[in-house]
Amino acid sequence: MAIAELTSSQPIASAVIPPAAMQVVYKRPEALSEAYTHYCPGCTHGIIHRLIAEVIDELGIRERTIAVAPVGCAVLAYEYFTVDAVEAAHGRAPAMATGIKRALPDRIVFTYQGDGDLASIGTNEIIHACARGELLTVIFVNNSLYGMTGGQMAPTTLPGQVTTSSPYGRDIRQQGWPLHITEMLAMMPGVAYAVRRSTHSPAEIRKAKKAIELAFRAQIEGLGLGIVELLSSCPTNWGLNPLEALAFIRDKMVPVYPPGDFKVHQALTARS
Amino acid sequence: MAKTLWKGNEALAEAALRAGVRVFFGYPITPQTELLEYMARRMPELGRVFLQAESELAAINMLYGAACTGTPAMTSSSSPGISLMQEGLSYIAASEVPAVIVDIMRGGPGLGNIQPSQGDYFQVVKSAGHGDYHAIVLAPATVQEAVDLMYISFDLAFKYRHIVILLGDGTLGQMMEPVVMPPFKEVNGGETPAWATTGAAGRPHRVITSLYLSAERLEALNLRLQEKLAQIKANEVRYATYLVDDADYLLVAFGTVGRIAQSAVRQARAMGIKAGLFRPITLWPFPERELEALSARVQGVLVVEMNAGQMLEDVQRVVKDRVPVHFLGRMGGVIPLPDDILPALHTLVGLVRSRNGHRARPVTA
| pLDDT tens string A33-75 | 999 999 999 999 999 999 999 999 999 999 999 999 999 999 9
Predicted TM-score of the model (pTM): 0.94
Shortest distance, CA A95 to any CA of chain B (angstroms): 5
Contact B61 A99 (CB under 8 A): yes
Helix (H) or strand (E) holding B2: none
Q: Mutate which of B57, B68, B89, B130 to test chain A, going by most A C-beta atoms within 10 A?
A: B68
Give the chain A residue nearest B69 (alpha carbons). A100
- pLDDT digits 0-9 by tens, B200-227: 999 999 999 999 999 999 999 999 999 9
Q: How confident is the model at residue A22 (pLDDT cuts 50, 70, 90)?
A: confident
Mean pLDDT of chain A: 94
Q: How many residue pairs from chains A and B have C-beta atoms closer than 8 A?
A: 135
- pLDDT digits 0-9 by tens, A174-220: 999 999 999 999 999 999 999 999 999 999 999 999 999 999 999 99
For B:15-44, CB contacts with A below 8 A are 22-23, 25
Give the closest of A62, A79, A127 to B200, CB-based.
Answer: A62
Shortest distance, CA B209 to any CA of chain A (angstroms): 5
For B:195-234, CB contacts with A below 8 A are 197-202, 204-211
pLDDT above 70: residue A8:
no
Q: How confident is the model at residue A7 (pLDDT cuts 50, 70, 90)?
A: very low
Contacts B66 to A, Cβ<8 Å: 99-100, 102-103
pLDDT above 60: residue B360:
no
Q: How confident is the model at residue A14 (pLDDT cuts 50, 70, 90)?
A: low
Rounded Cα distance, A102 and B272, in Å: 60
Contact B49 A79 (CB under 8 A): no
**Cβ-proximal residues to A253 (8 Å cutoff; 6+ apart), any chain:** A142, A144, A158, A198, A231
Q: Kindly report the backbone phi and psi dihedral angles of residue B129, in degrees, each rounded to the nearest multiple of 5, phi listed first.
A: 130, 165
Give the closest of B25, B62, B208 to A86, CB-based.
Answer: B208
Q: Kindly report the backbone phi and psi dihedral angles of residue A101, in degrees, each rounded to the nearest multiple of 5, phi listed first.
A: -65, -40
Rounded Cα distance, A157 and A163, in Å: 8
- pLDDT digits 0-9 by tens, B27-37: 999 999 999 99
Percent of chain A with pLDDT over 70: 93
Mean predicted confidence (pLDDT) in B52-79:
98
Least confident of A1-5, A256-260, B3-7, B200-204: A1-5
Q: DSSP character for B125? A: I
Rounded Cα distance, B171 and B330, in Å: 14
The number of helices, as runs of H, and strands, as runs of E, in chain B is: 12, 15
Rounded Cα distance, B41 and A248, in Å: 54
Rounded Cα distance, A6 and A8, in Å: 6
Q: Note the pLDDT of residue A272.
A: 67
Q: How confident is the model at residue A18 (pLDDT cuts 50, 70, 90)?
A: low
The arrangement of strands across the sheet holding B325-329 comes to B239-242, B275-280, B249-252, B300-305, B325-329
Q: Mutate which of A80, A98, A106, A111 to test chain B, going by most B C-beta atoms within 10 A?
A: A98
Give the closest of A65, A68, A92 to B199, CB-based.
Answer: A65
Q: How confident is the model at residue B138 (pLDDT cuts 50, 70, 90)?
A: very high
SS3 B207: strand
Q: How confident is the model at residue B357 (pLDDT cuts 50, 70, 90)?
A: low
Contacts B69 to A, Cβ<8 Å: 66, 99-100, 103-104
Q: Note the pLDDT of residue A271.
A: 76
Q: Note the pLDDT of residue B355.
A: 83
Give the chain A residue nearest B202 (alpha carbons). A63
Shortest distance, CA B264 to any CA of chain A (angstroms): 46
Q: How far is CA B265 from CA B72, B212, B364, in A?
A: 40, 51, 15
pLDDT above 70: residue B324:
yes
pLDDT above 70: residue B365:
no
Q: Note the pLDDT of residue A13.
A: 52
Alpha helices in B142-282 (DSSP H): 143-160, 170-174, 215-235, 255-270
Contacts B64 to A, Cβ<8 Å: 86, 88-89, 92, 96, 99
pLDDT above 50: residue A6:
no
pLDDT above 60: residue B148:
yes
DSSP annotation string for B293-362: HHHTTSSEEEEEESSSSSHHHHHHHHHTTSS-EEEEE--TTPPP-HHHHHHHHHHHHHHHHHHTTSPP--
Torsion of the alpha carbons at A147, A150, A156 and A159, rounded to the nearest 10:
140
**Cβ-proximal residues to B45 (8 Å cutoff; 6+ apart), any chain:** none
ipTM of the complex: 0.95
pLDDT above 60: residue B358:
no
Largest alpha-carbon pair distance within chain B? Answer: 79
- pLDDT digits 0-9 by tens, B240-294: 999 999 999 999 999 999 999 999 999 999 999 999 999 999 999 999 999 999 9
Rounded Cα distance, A128 and A118, in Å: 12
Q: Note the pLDDT of residue B103.
A: 98
Q: Kindly report the backbone phi and psi dihedral angles of residue A196, in degrees, each rounded to the nearest multiple of 5, phi listed first.
A: -120, 140
Q: How confident is the model at residue A20 (pLDDT cuts 50, 70, 90)?
A: confident
Contact A92 B61 (CB under 8 A): yes
Rounded Cα distance, A223 and A191, in Å: 8
